[in-house]
A and B are shown apart, each in its own frame.
Chain A
Amino acid sequence: MNTTTVAVCGSLLMLFPLAGALVNALAGPRLPRNAVNLVGTVSIFAAFVVACVMLTLVVGAPASAKAATVSLWQWINLGHGGLSVGVDLTLDPLSAVMIMVITGVGFLIHVYSVGYMAEDRGIARFFSYMNFFIFSMLVLVLAADLVILIIGWALVALSSYLLIGFWYERPSAVIAARKAFITQVIGDVALVIAAFLIVLKVGTLSIPGIFASAGSFPSSGLLVTGICSLLAIGAFAKSAQFPLHTWLPDAMEGPTPVSALIHAATMVTAGVYLIARFHPLFDRAPVAQGMVACVGIGTAVMAGIIALSQVDIKRVIAYSTMSQIGLMIFAVGIGAYSAAMYHLAAHAVFKALLFMAAGNVIHALHDEQDIRLMGGLAARMRRTEVCFLSGTFALAGIPFFAGFFSKEGLLGFGLTNGPGAVPWILYIVGLVINVLTGLYAFRLWATVFRGEAQTARVYAAHEAPPMMLGPVTILAVLSAGLGIVLGIWALFLHANVLGGVFTSFLAPVFTTATSGPIAVDLGTWPAVLAGTIGTLASLAGAGFAARMWLQRRPDPSAVLERLPRALPQLSYNKFYFDEIYDALLVRPTIALARTTRKVIEPRAMDGWVRAIADACSELGGWARDYQTGLIRDYASYMILAAGIFVVATIVLVSR
C-alpha cells in the first residue's frame, strides 16, 4: 500500500469527525437545527467514504503487504535510544474492519439520532459529542503507538462520560456517567502500567516495534503474563466484563443512539480489539489467555441469566451486549481472533439494530422503558417489529442470520482449538449461553411486541418517523442478508463454512512468527457437528421462549414458582454486584474519608500545617521589624553583608 495514500486517508478519516465536532461545539448553538444535523451526519458520512476507500486499499493490496504503518509526525523523542513516540497510524485488515464498523454503523446511528433527538434542545452538543466519540474511536483503532492508543482509549471514555451524562439535569444520568468513567479509569490505569512494563522490557511503545521484539519475552514468563493481565484488565473495564461490568447497565441513562453507538456497537468492543491487536503478546501468555477466556465466558453466562429477568428494555439489551462481548472476549482468550472480530462486526450490526428499534419503541411510548407496561406493539409498529425480529434472530443465532455464522464459528473453534483439556467444558458452557441467548432474546421480543397491550399508552403509539426507521431498516436487511450472503459466499467459494471469508481476510494480521496463521480450517466435521449442536441449542432456547411467552405453555410465572427462590432473586438483582461493590468499596471509602476528615485531619494534619503557618507568620513578624522603610537601614544591611563578604573573601583567599 502506498504510505502517502494511507497517511492522507487516515488523517482525513480522523479530521472529518473532529471538524464536525468542532463546528458543532463552537458554532452549533447559533446554527439552525438543520445545519447542525447536516454537519453532524455529513462529517461521519465523509469519514465512512474515506473508510471505504481504505478498505479497498487493504483488499486490493497483495497478501504479503496488507499492513501499512505511516508516521504522521514525531511527538516525543528522548533521543539516543530513549523513548520515542510518534503519531503513527496503522492500516491493516484488523483496523480496516474496525473503521468500517465505526463509521458505517456510526453513520446510520447519526442519521437515526436526527430523528430521535428531534425535540432535544442540546442537539448541537449531542452531535459534537457524538462526532468527537467517532474521532476518539478512530484514533484508538488506527493508533500504531501504544501512547496514541491509550489517548484514544481515554478519549472514548471521556466521550462516553459526556454522552451518558448528556441529560445532566437527571441525577441518575450524572451518577451513571461518573460510575462509567471511574470504572473505565481503573482499566486506563492498568493499561498505562502495562505500557510502563513494556517500555521497561523492550524500550519502545510503537506497536509494530513491540511485536517485533515479542520474541524477547520468554513464553509464559511472569512479565508477559503480567503485561497481558493488565491489558486484559483494561479490556475488561472498557468491554464491561466481570468484575468491572457494573457500569454498562447504568450507562443506559444516556440517549438511546448513544447506547446503540457506544455501549453496543463500538466502544465496548474496544477491549476485544485491544486483545486481538496484542495477540502476539497474548500468544506468549497462556495463563493470561486462560484468564481472559474464563472471565469472558463467565460474564457471558452471568449476563445472560441477568438479562432473563430485567424489565427495562434497554437494560435487557445491555445485558445481552455484555453477554455477547463476553463471548468475544472468550474467543480472543482461546485464540479465535478472527472469529471474535467477525462476531464483533456482526454484533455491531444487530445490536445497534436492536437498540435503535428499542429506541423507536421508547420514542413511540414517550420515554417508557418498562417492558411490563408494553406488549402488543406489533400491531401499531409493524416495521419496527420486523426489524427488531431480524435483530433478535441474529442475536439468538438462528441459522443464516448474521449472528449465526459468527457465534457458531466461534464455538466450533473453541471446540477444536480450545485450551488444554477443557474445550468440552467450555463448549458445554457455550451451549448454555446459546440457550440463554435464545431465551432472553425472544422473551424481549414477545413481551414488547406480542401479547396483550398492558397500558393505554400502547394504543396511542405510532410508527417511528422515516428518519429513524430508515437506518433501522438498513441494519435489519444487513443483519439478515449479510449473514446469508457471507454464508453462501463462504459455502461456494471457500471451503470454510463458518466465517471463512472473514478469517481469510484477517489472516495476515493474526499470524505469528512461530506458528503461522492462527486461523484454523473450520470445515472439518467436528466443527460442523459442533455448529449443528450449537444451532440446535439456540433454536431450543428460542423455541422454548416463544412457547413460554407467546402461548403461556408453560406459564412463565408457573416456571418461576418451580425454580428455587434464590435463582430469580439473583438474576433480578444482577447477582447483587452493585450492593457488593457498595458494601466492599464505596462504603469503606466513604467511611475512611469521613474518618480522615473528622479525626486525622484535625489531629494529625492541621497541627503541623498550622505550625508551619505560625512559624512563617512569626518569622515574618520578626523580619518585618527590619523592614523599616528607611533607605539608610536597607543600605546598612547591604553594606554589612558586603563587608562580611569582602573580609571573609580576603581572609580565606590570602590564607
Chain B
Amino acid sequence: MNATNDFPFLLGLAAFLFSIGALGVLIRRNPIVVFMCIELMLNAVNIVFVSYGRYLNSEEGQVFAFMVIVVAAAEVVVGLALITQVFRLGRELDVDDLDEMSK
C-alpha cells in the first residue's frame, strides 16, 4: 500500500468527523446525543493520532489514542451519570432546559 496517497484522505476524514461532531453538539438538544457527538469528535482526533503515528514510524500516536479512549470512557461514565441524575430530578432531557447558569 502506498499510504502517502491516503494520508490527505485520512486527515480530511478526521476533519469531517470532527466538524460534523461539533455541528451535532451545537444543534442537538438531547444530552445523550450530544455526548455521542463528542465521541465522534474524540474519534476524529484518534484518527489523526494513529495516522501520524503511522507516518512518523512511531507507536506514540497509538499510545495517545489509547489515552483518549480511556478518557472518553471516563467522560461517558460521569456524563451519563449526570444525565440520569437530571432525569431523576424530573427534568426534561433537553440541554436548553438546563439553563441555571443564566440565573
Question: Touch between A and B in complex, CB under 8 Å?
Answer: yes
List chain A positions with a Cβ less than 8 A from chain B. 627-632, 635-636, 639, 642-643
Minimum CB–CB distance from B78 to chain A (whole Å) comes to 15
B89 within 8 A of A: no
Contact A636 B96 (CB under 8 A): no
Contact A628 B26 (CB under 8 A): no
Report the Cα distance A632→B27, complex, angstroms. 8
Contact B26 A636 (CB under 8 A): yes
Report the Cα distance A403→B99, complex, angstroms. 88
B29 within 8 A of A: yes
A639 partner residues in chain B, CB cutoff 8 A: 22, 25-26
Contact A632 B102 (CB under 8 A): no
Minimum CB–CB distance from B32 to chain A (whole Å) comes to 14
Contact B102 A630 (CB under 8 A): yes
Minimum CB–CB distance from B56 to chain A (whole Å) comes to 18
Flag B13-27 by CB within 8 Å of A: 1 or 0 each.
000000100100111
A635 partner residues in chain B, CB cutoff 8 A: 25-26
B98 within 8 A of A: yes
Contact of A629 among B25, B26, B27, B101 (CB under 8 A): B101
In the complex, besides A632-B27, A632-B96, 11 extra interface pairs with C-beta distance below 8 angstroms are A627-B101, A628-B99, A629-B99, A629-B103, A630-B99, A631-B95, A631-B98, A632-B25, A632-B95, A639-B25, A643-B19
Report the Cα distance A595→B22, complex, angstroms. 62
A627 partner residues in chain B, CB cutoff 8 A: 101-102
B99 partner residues in chain A, CB cutoff 8 A: 628-630
Contact of A632 among B19, B26, B103 (CB under 8 A): B26
Report the Cα distance A631→B27, complex, angstroms. 11
14 A-B pairs whose Cβ atoms sit less than 8 Å apart in the complex? A627-B101, A627-B102, A628-B99, A629-B99, A629-B102, A629-B103, A630-B96, A630-B102, A631-B98, A632-B25, A632-B27, A632-B29, A639-B22, A639-B26
Contact B98 A628 (CB under 8 A): no
B102 partner residues in chain A, CB cutoff 8 A: 627-630
Residues from 1 to 53 in B contacting A, C-beta threshold 8 Å: 19, 22, 25-27, 29
A632 partner residues in chain B, CB cutoff 8 A: 25-27, 29, 95-96
Closest to A627 in B: B102
Minimum CB–CB distance from A573 to chain B (whole Å) comes to 71
Minimum CB–CB distance from A547 to chain B (whole Å) comes to 94
Contact B95 A630 (CB under 8 A): yes
Closest to A642 in B: B22
A636 partner residues in chain B, CB cutoff 8 A: 26
Report the Cα distance A643→B100, complex, angstroms. 27
Minimum CB–CB distance from B92 to chain A (whole Å) comes to 14
Residues from 58 to 103 in B contacting A, C-beta threshold 8 Å: 95-96, 98-103
List chain B positions with a Cβ less than 8 A from chain A. 19, 22, 25-27, 29, 95-96, 98-103
A643 partner residues in chain B, CB cutoff 8 A: 19, 22
Q: Which 5 A-B pairs have the closest CB atoms?
A: A629-B102, A629-B99, A629-B101, A639-B22, A631-B95
Report the Cα distance A628→B25, complex, angstroms. 17
Minimum CB–CB distance from A100 to chain B (whole Å) comes to 73
Report the Cα distance A238→B51, complex, angstroms. 80
Report the Cα distance A631→B26, complex, angstroms. 9
B25 partner residues in chain A, CB cutoff 8 A: 632, 635, 639
B95 partner residues in chain A, CB cutoff 8 A: 630-632
Report the Cα distance A12→B58, complex, angstroms. 69
A630 partner residues in chain B, CB cutoff 8 A: 95-96, 99, 102
Report the Cα distance A198→B101, complex, angstroms. 59
B27 partner residues in chain A, CB cutoff 8 A: 632
Minimum CB–CB distance from A68 to chain B (whole Å) comes to 66
B103 partner residues in chain A, CB cutoff 8 A: 629
Report the Cα distance A481→B101, complex, angstroms. 86
Minimum CB–CB distance from A65 to chain B (whole Å) comes to 71
Report the Cα distance A652→B103, complex, angstroms. 41
Closest to B22 in A: A639
Report the Cα distance A628→B103, complex, angstroms. 9
Contact B100 A629 (CB under 8 A): yes
Report the Cα distance A635→B103, complex, angstroms. 18
Report the Cα distance A282→B19, complex, angstroms. 80
Closest to A628 in B: B102
Report the Cα distance A299→B103, complex, angstroms. 72
A629 partner residues in chain B, CB cutoff 8 A: 99-103
Closest to B28 in A: A632
Closest to A629 in B: B102
Closest to B37 in A: A635
Closest to A634 in B: B101
Closest to B27 in A: A632
Report the Cα distance A631→B95, complex, angstroms. 7
Closest to B101 in A: A629
Report the Cα distance A631→B100, complex, angstroms. 10
Closest to B15 in A: A646
Report the Cα distance A630→B99, complex, angstroms. 5
Report the Cα distance A635→B26, complex, angstroms. 7
Report the Cα distance A143→B39, complex, angstroms. 70
Closest to B26 in A: A636
Report the Cα distance A631→B34, complex, angstroms. 11
A631 partner residues in chain B, CB cutoff 8 A: 95, 98
Report the Cα distance A495→B60, complex, angstroms. 95
Closest to A636 in B: B26
Closest to A650 in B: B15
Most chain B beta carbons < 10 A, residue from A627, A639, A643: A639
Minimum CB–CB distance from A259 to chain B (whole Å) comes to 66
Minimum CB–CB distance from A624 to chain B (whole Å) comes to 9
Minimum CB–CB distance from A490 to chain B (whole Å) comes to 89
Report the Cα distance A639→B19, complex, angstroms. 9
Report the Cα distance A628→B99, complex, angstroms. 8
Report the Cα distance A475→B3, complex, angstroms. 105
Report the Cα distance A630→B31, complex, angstroms. 12
Report the Cα distance A628→B96, complex, angstroms. 10
Report the Cα distance A629→B102, complex, angstroms. 4
Report the Cα distance A542→B26, complex, angstroms. 102
Report the Cα distance A632→B102, complex, angstroms. 13
Closest to B95 in A: A631
Report the Cα distance A631→B25, complex, angstroms. 10
Closest to B38 in A: A635
Closest to B100 in A: A629
Report the Cα distance A630→B96, complex, angstroms. 5
Report the Cα distance A642→B41, complex, angstroms. 13
Minimum CB–CB distance from A58 to chain B (whole Å) comes to 74
